[in-house]
Amino acid sequence: MPFAWYDLSDDPEAHALARDLNLPNPAPTTVLFDDGRALYDPTIAELASALGLTQEASRDRYDLVVVGGGPAGLGAAVNGAAEGMSVVVVEDDCPGGQAGVTTRVDNYLGFPAGLSGADFAHRALAQAKRLGVEWCSAKVATTLLPRLGAHRVVLDGGQAVVGRAVLIATGMTWRRLDAPGAAELVNAGVYYGASAADAKEAAGEDVVVAGSGDAAAVAVLRFAEHARSVTMVVAEPSLSTAALSDRFAQAVAKHPRVTVRCGSQVGEVRGYGRLEKVVLLDAATGGTDPVPASALYVLIGMVPFSDWVRDIVACDEFGFVLTDGEMILRPELMPAAWPLDRPPLLTETSVPGVFAAGDVRAGTVKRISSAIGQGAVAVAAVSHYLDTLADVDEDSES
Ligand SMILES: Cc1cc2nc3c(=O)[nH]c(=O)nc-3n(C[C@H](O)[C@H](O)[C@H](O)COP(=O)(O)OP(=O)(O)OC[C@H]3O[C@@H](n4cnc5c(N)ncnc54)[C@H](O)[C@@H]3O)c2cc1C
């Protein structure tokens, strides 16, 4: 949605607008619409509803309820609808998931100049809607009540959408930094994840990267090509004890613009409205060291969005959803024994008729094309599953 942003901290036009609207001081975040409506400190759900971006589920039951509108969910929705299934997508935020907020995607086939994540997301959503997919955004799935032929996905607010099959495509997110000041400065100097495009934005800046895996090392090396200095904050006592490939460990250790701070963590984040300093905490001595920085990139591990189904379908020790072969190999992680004579279908979870695709699924490649492909594979399995449902009593408990 195109919009103009007026910042009360430094924009005289914003002050004039606030005066015209009689906004109190401090002013709430105010959204003004062309038709004169105004919303004050709206929730995402209120904003989506006012913009006409969300809809209520229109059917009592769908062939497929997709939870999560990222590449996996949208890929499944498009393929399912194209096959004639009735499909609804439940999404708690914006279309595109992690991909939707990526500045630029360079490895997406067919777009030689790359495309922005937002462009990708809106194209995919438009395609899904054209094929008849219902899009319920700003709705959080809170639990799943399995029932053969009529699985209920319960939403915040208490209502439920019912599917003969359900696809879990809720993805994952970066682990949040638990340091004072970090939450207030998210997107104002504190960022989760880092892309190649972010590195170019950091030309001449002082950057801190928190994390000790390969993803953090790749980010450090990319930033080091453009930034004035890069500090890598590693919790482990040395690079050799971190979960880091040797070649990356050597590359960061010898880079002239990179300082590696082992045995450290981010103790505090400081700045007024914008990041100014990252305070490093030495694990051994408890000493602190404020490092000036204009950007802090946090890459301290990923967590899957699977809390809402954690006790219902089998998940691995990190919370990634187990499917088909991987699940059968780890029966000790199944909440209940596999109930059918047939083996689970590709991408099927420990609950028959409930499937998983994309980053939330255990053992997958965490990329956009991979997620889209898994969505398509899941739909093929759902199609097969729906055929088998015709033979069973759909009212019996699963
Ligand atoms: C900064 C960044 C840059 C990246 N760049 C690239 C790149 O250039 N190329 C590439 O191939 N890959 C890239 N990736 C990885 C890629 O974006 C992911 O692998 C891909 O988006 C995974 O898709 P997904 O659909 O499985 O999950 P997600 O994209 O995570 O989508 C899941 C969706 O489900 C929603 N959701 C979660 N829980 C609930 C719930 N309970 N109820 C309702 N909705 C819920 C989430 O809000 C989200 O919208 C990047 C990732 C990041 C973070």
pLDDT grade, residue 100 (50/70/90)?
confident
Give the Cβ contact number of residue 90 at 10 Å. 26
Residue bearing the bigger pLDDT, 389 or 230: 230
User: What percentage of the chain has pLDDT greater than the value 90?
Assistant: 77
Question: Is residue 96 classed as helix, strand or coil in its secondary structure?
Answer: coil
In this prediction, residue 391 carries a pLDDT of 60
Mean pLDDT value across residues 356-363: 97
Mean pLDDT value across residues 375-395: 85
Name 313's Cβ contacts closer than 8 Å, sequence gap at least 6.
Answer: 144, 168, 321, 322, 335, 349, 350, 351, 354, 356
CA-nearest residue for atom 12, ligand 1, is 367
In this prediction, residue 209 carries a pLDDT of 97
Mean pLDDT value across residues 277-302: 95
Mean pLDDT check: name the lowest of 129-133, 158-162, 196-200, 283-287.
Answer: 196-200
Report which ligand 1 atom has the smallest distance to the Cα of 99: 17
Separation of CA 21 and ligand 1 centre (Å): 38
The domains found in the chain, sorted by start residue, are 12-41 (no CATH), 62-173+304-389 (3.50.50.60), 183-300 (3.50.50.60)
CA-nearest residue for atom 4, ligand 1, is 102
Name 332's Cβ contacts closer than 8 Å, sequence gap at least 6.
Answer: none
pLDDT grade, residue 138 (50/70/90)?
confident
Separation of CA 171 and ligand 1 centre (Å): 5
Largest CA distance in the chain: 70
DSSP run (H or E) holding 329: helix 324-329
Residue bearing the bigger pLDDT, 173 or 152: 152
CA distance 193 to 98: 10
In this prediction, residue 397 carries a pLDDT of 44
Name 103's Cβ contacts closer than 8 Å, sequence gap at least 6.
Answer: 116, 117, 195, 197, 198
Separation of CA 196 and ligand 1 centre (Å): 17
Backbone φ and ψ for 206, nearest 5 degrees, come out as: -100, 120
In the predicted structure, residue 321 carries a pLDDT above the cut 90: yes
Separation of CA 71 and ligand 1 centre (Å): 7
Mean pLDDT value across residues 108-113: 93
In this prediction, residue 200 carries a pLDDT of 84
In this prediction, residue 56 carries a pLDDT of 85
Long-range contacts of 270-279 (CB under 8 A, 24+ apart): 270/181, 271/181, 271/185, 271/188, 271/189, 273/9, 273/188, 274/185, 274/188, 274/189, 275/185, 275/188, 275/189, 275/190, 276/189, 278/208, 278/231, 278/233
Q: Which two tokens stand for residue 377?
A: 């594979």
CA distance 300 to 216: 8
Backbone φ and ψ for 330, nearest 5 degrees, come out as: -125, 65
CA-nearest residue for atom 20, ligand 1, is 368
Nearest CA to 269 among 260, 278, 261? 278
Separation of CA 317 and ligand 1 centre (Å): 21
Separation of CA 168 and ligand 1 centre (Å): 13
In this prediction, residue 46 carries a pLDDT of 86
Q: What angle do CA 298, 364, 111 make, to 5 degrees?
A: 80
Mean pLDDT value across residues 276-291: 96
Per the DSSP assignment, residues forming a β-bridge with 152 are: 145, 162
Residue bearing the bigger pLDDT, 389 or 352: 352
Structure confidence by residue, pLDDT tens digits, 164-215: 999 999 999 989 999 999 999 998 999 998 877 788 888 899 999 999 988 8
The single-letter DSSP state of residue 386 is H
Name 113's Cβ contacts closer than 8 Å, sequence gap at least 6.
Answer: none
In this prediction, residue 392 carries a pLDDT of 57
In this prediction, residue 131 carries a pLDDT of 98
What's the whole-number average pLDDT of the chain?
Answer: 92
CA-nearest residue for atom 13, ligand 1, is 367
pTM of the prediction?
Answer: 0.84
Structure confidence by residue, pLDDT tens digits, 38-97: 999 998 878 888 888 777 899 999 999 999 999 999 999 999 999 999 999 999 988 999
CA-nearest residue for atom 6, ligand 1, is 105
The single-letter DSSP state of residue 21 is T
In the predicted structure, residue 121 carries a pLDDT above the cut 60: yes
Report which ligand 1 atom has the smallest distance to the Cα of 361: 26
Pocket residue to mutate for ligand 1, from 170, 191, 222, 365, most atoms within 8 A of Cβ: 170
In this prediction, residue 393 carries a pLDDT of 47
CA distance 207 to 197: 14
Report which ligand 1 atom has the smallest distance to the Cα of 172: 30
Report which ligand 1 atom has the smallest distance to the Cα of 94: 49
Q: Ligand 1 pocket: which residues have CB below 6 Å?
A: 67-73, 90-93, 97-99, 102, 105-107, 140-141, 169-172, 193, 195, 305, 308, 358-359, 366-369, 371
